[in-house]
Amino acid sequence: MRVLLVEDSPGLGDAVREQIVDDGHAVDWVQRLAHAEASVRSTAYDLILLDLMLPDGRGLDFLRQRRSAGDATPVIILTARDQISDRIAGLNAGADDYLVKPFDLFELSARVAAVARRYSGNPNPQVQLGELHIDLTARSVARAGMGVDLTAREWALLEAFIQRPGALLSRSQLEERLYAFGAEIESNTIEVYISRLRKKLGRELIETVRGMGYRLGAK
C-alpha cells in the first residue's frame, strides 16, 4: 500500500514509518497539515495515518474536509487524546479506526491490515488461490501445504494483486505501492519482483499483459 503518515513527533513518526516500511508498504511522512493537503492532491493513497494535533491545525478539520470533498481514503487516527468523546468525534468525522498513544507497533500493523482488507471488499483474511493458501493476518503463504518465505516487498506486491483480483495493474501503480515519494527505483524493479513471486508461487499466478501491466492470473 501507499501510506501517508501525518505526525509531528520525530520519534514516533520515525518508529511508525519504520514499522510500516518493514510490513512492505511505501510511506510518505509529513509533519504539517499543509504538507498533508499538498500530498493528497498529488498522490493517490491507500491509507492515511493521522495525528489530531499538528503545529498548523487540527487533524479532525483535515479529515472532515477530505470527507466533504468525497475522499473515501481510509483513515486511522493516532492520538494521545484518550477520552471517549474524542474517539466518538474522530469516528463521526469519518475515521475508520482510532489508536491511542502510546500504542504497540504490531497492533498498528494489524489494524492497518484489517482496514485494507475491508476496503478491498474482502474482510476474510484467508485466501485460497489454487494450491496457494494465503493468510493475510499472519502474512503467510503455503503452496501445496508447504510454507513459502516471502520478503516484505514480495508480500506487498502479492497483497496488491489480492486486493484487486482481476484488475490490471501498471508498473507505475505497483511502484507506488512499494516505494515512498522520491525513492530511487531501478527500471526493472517490478519485473524482478514479479519473477521472484512466479518462481516461489507458480508461473501462472501473475499474468503479463504486454505493454499494459500485470494482473492476478486465473487459478
First-residue to last-residue Cα distance in the chain: 24
In sequence order, the 6+-apart residues with CB closer than 8 A to the CB of 140 are 134, 147
pTM of the model: 0.67
The CATH T-level fold of domain 2-119 is: Rossmann fold (3.40.50)
The CATH number of 126-216, from 1.10.10.10, 3.40.50.360, 3.40.50.2000, 3.90.480.10, is 1.10.10.10
> What is the three-class DSSP state of 152?
helix
Per-residue pLDDT of the chain in tens (219 residues, 90 and over written 9): 889 999 999 999 999 999 998 888 889 999 999 999 999 998 889 899 999 999 999 999 999 999 998 888 999 999 888 788 888 888 899 999 999 999 999 999 989 988 887 776 656 678 888 899 998 877 889 998 899 999 888 888 898 888 787 888 888 888 877 776 656 666 788 899 999 999 999 988 899 988 889 998 755
Tell me whether domains 2-119 and 126-216 share a fold. no
The span from the CA of 195 to the CA of 121, in Å, is: 27
Taking the domains of the chain in order of start, what are their residue ranges? Answer: 2-119, 126-216
pLDDT in the model for residue 124: 66
